Structure 1
Amino acid sequence: MDSEKIKFHNLHLPNEVRVFQIPKTNIRVWNEKVMVYEVKIDDAIGGNFTFRHYSFYDKWFEINITLDASGKLITEPGPIDWSFNCDICTPCFSKGTNFFNLDLELDILVSNDGKEYVVIDEDDFENVISQGLLTVNERIGARKGLENLIQLILSGNLISYLEGICSFTDLISLSDPIPYNKLQLSEVSLLNMSERESYYGKELES
């Protein structure tokens, strides 16, 4: 069982599906609302860093953070100095040990204290809309996810919300960085535009 992998399929429009293979031992939380995993970062300067990913069955966003060995948030430069990389995306869905979601292009970077933020990649979002690559519900969901995430940030509760799911200082010993490969959308039928929105938020029978 320990050697079994979770495969996370993340569709980047128009056709690229990035597949991350995560050992089950790296899954920190997995229930009907959220899946959290951690992986080691292969850092060029030799830092002992953990990448943590929060994916939700009931929300139109996902959140990524990087932590040092003590559980301290790593900050990176950008439009603002940020520690939270939040992707607006569809709710995830799963089938057995396979997870799926669709990146909706919009992103929010959030400062170390969880209070300052900037929205980026709005042009990319408008571009996929203009190409007809999103359904009406996906367009509505993206804006809903953006609004809900901004409300969470402005409430001052982003950090406490995430720590309530899995504490930043509760880290595990990790093996080597995980492999990932790329597939074409045509190879992952569950993410086809005609099918995928009926699956969002669900755990499908294997």
Structure 2
Amino acid sequence: MNEGMIKFHNLHLPNEVRVFQIPESNIRVWNDSVMVYEVKFEDEKGENLTFRHYSFYKEWFEINITLDAAGKLITESGPIEWSFNCDICSPCYSKGVNVYNVDLELDILVRSDGKEYIVIDEDDFAQVVSQGLLSEDECIGARKGLESLLQLISSGRLISFLEDICPFADLIRLSDPIPGCKLQLSDVPLLGMPERGCHYGRRE
């Protein structure tokens, strides 16, 4: 019997929907508050790594980390050396095996200590706002998500917040890398305005 697939739809404005097909066995946590899934991949040295994604039904952000085989955080280079890629986004919502959210452009990169950070892509956020691509509620939500996430980081609770949901060292034997594709917004009506705003935070 073929394993079921969860389809995660992530809208990148203005029109690109990135769809990730995640085997059910790669889902670590899925309840009315949070979904956590993991993806296997190899780095340029051939080392097996795990990409872990945290999506939230009640929060205006999502968080991505990469872990080695021992469950230790991988650090990457950028404006700062970072291990946590935090995206400001809409709360996720789902219908059956289909999950949806909207990337709201703002991002926070956080060092491996979970405390030092930098906010990036503020110009991109300002641009989508000026183009009318976000609703008023989404603009407010984006700022709310940024404030909430910065409070979590500044208080030193980011790591414990994530580990309480799914400990970093608690890894599973993953299937092959997951397939993905790209669609246009017109192909995914549930991500269109204004309908998407009616679904945020719902799991059906």
TM-score normalised to structure 2 length: 0.98
TM superposition shift of 1:2:
6.3
Instruction: After TM superposition, list the pairs within 5 Å mapping 1:159-174 onto structure 2.
Output: 159-174=159-174
SS of the counterpart of 1:128? helix
**1:175 Cα deviation from its structure 2 partner:** 1.7
Q: Does the CA contact (< 8 Å) of 1:106 and 1:125 recur in 2?
A: yes
The alignment yields a C-alpha RMSD, in angstroms, of 0.9
CA distance in 2, matches of 1:173, 1:2: 18
1:95 maps to: 95
Provide structure 2 residue ranges, at least 5 long, that are not aligned to the other structure: none
Superposed CA deviations along residues 54-78 of structure 1, whole A, max 9, x for unmatched, are: 0000000000000000000000011
Matched residue type, 1:175: S
Query: Aligned AA for 1:125?
Result: F
- Does 2:169 match 1:138? no
CA contact (8 A) 1:2 1:25 kept: no
Counterpart code for 1:178: I
* In structure 1, C-alpha distance between the alignment counterparts of 2:201 and 2:169, rounded to whole Å: 28
Secondary structure of the residue that 2:150 maps to in structure 1?
Answer: helix
| Deviation of 1:203 (Å) | 1.2
Match of 1:157 in 2: 157
CA 2–74 in structure 1, closer or farther in 2 if over 3 Å, else same: farther
1:118-169 CA deviation, whole Å, 9 max, x = no partner? 0000000000011100000000000000000000000000000100000000
Aligned structure 1 segments of 4 or more residues deviating by more than 3 angstroms: none
CA contact (8 A) 1:42 1:177 kept: no
Matched-pair contact (CA < 8 Å) for 1:2–1:23: no
Match for residue 71 of structure 1? 71
* Match runs of 1:34-49 below 5 Å: 34-49=34-49
C-alpha contact 1:110 1:116 (8 A) present in aligned 2 = yes
| 1:132 counterpart SS class | coil
State the alpha-carbon separation in 1 of the partners of residues 27 and 36 from structure 2: 6
Could you tell me how far apart the structure 2 residues matched to 1:62 and 1:28 are?
15
Cα distance between partner residues in 2 of 1:2 and 1:160: 36
User: How far has the Cα of 1:53 moved from its partner?
Assistant: 0.2
Please report how far the alpha carbon of residue 89 of structure 1 lies from its aligned counterpart in structure 2 after TM superposition: 0.0
